[in-house]
Amino acid sequence: MSGASGEWDRWVTLQQLTSGKEPSGYPKEDWSTLIELYAGRKDSGGRERFIASQTSAPFDTVWEIPYLPSMDPEVVNVPKTRRLIQDGRVYDIVAARQVGYRVAITLETLSGGTYAGPS
C-alpha cells in the first residue's frame, strides 16, 4: 500500500481524544477532529482468535496515511489518543507504525461498529 501508487483513495477523519470534566467533577472523554485526509485501506482477511472464551481479532483493517508529525507513533501514543472515522464508522487504532523515514504511517484498526456523528 503506497500513496505514491495512488492507493490513498478513501477520505477519512482522524480524531484525537480530549479530556475534560463533567459538571459533577467526573472525568469526561470527547473526540475532536485532528485532520481529514485521504488514506489507503486494506482489510485483513478475517483473522480471528479464540481468547478467554471469546472470539477476538487482533485487527481487521489496515490503513496507510501520509506521515504526519501529529500521528508519529514514536512521539504520540496513537492507540490511546487517536481514532479513525470513515463514512461515519469508527475504527479504533490498536497499533501504529512508521513506514520508511517519515514517508507514511500504517494504522491497524478494529471496527467498533459504532457511528460517529458530526464532530
The structural domain count of the chain equals 1
Name the nearest CA neighbour of 96 among 68, 56, 55, 57. Answer: 68
Residue 45: pLDDT band by 50, 70, 90 thresholds?
A: low
Position with higher pLDDT, 21 vs 119: 21
* pLDDT score of 119: 46
Q: Using DSSP bridges, classify how beta strands 27-43 and 49-51 pair: parallel, antiparallel or unpaired.
A: unpaired
User: Domain range holding 41?
Assistant: 3-115
Q: Which amino acid is at 17?
A: L
Domain of 54: which CATH number?
Answer: 2.40.10.270
pLDDT tens digit sequence for 54-106: 555 566 899 999 999 999 999 999 999 999 999 999 999 999 999 999 999 99
pTM of the model: 0.78
Cβ atoms < 10 Å from Cβ of 59: 17
* pLDDT score of 112: 74
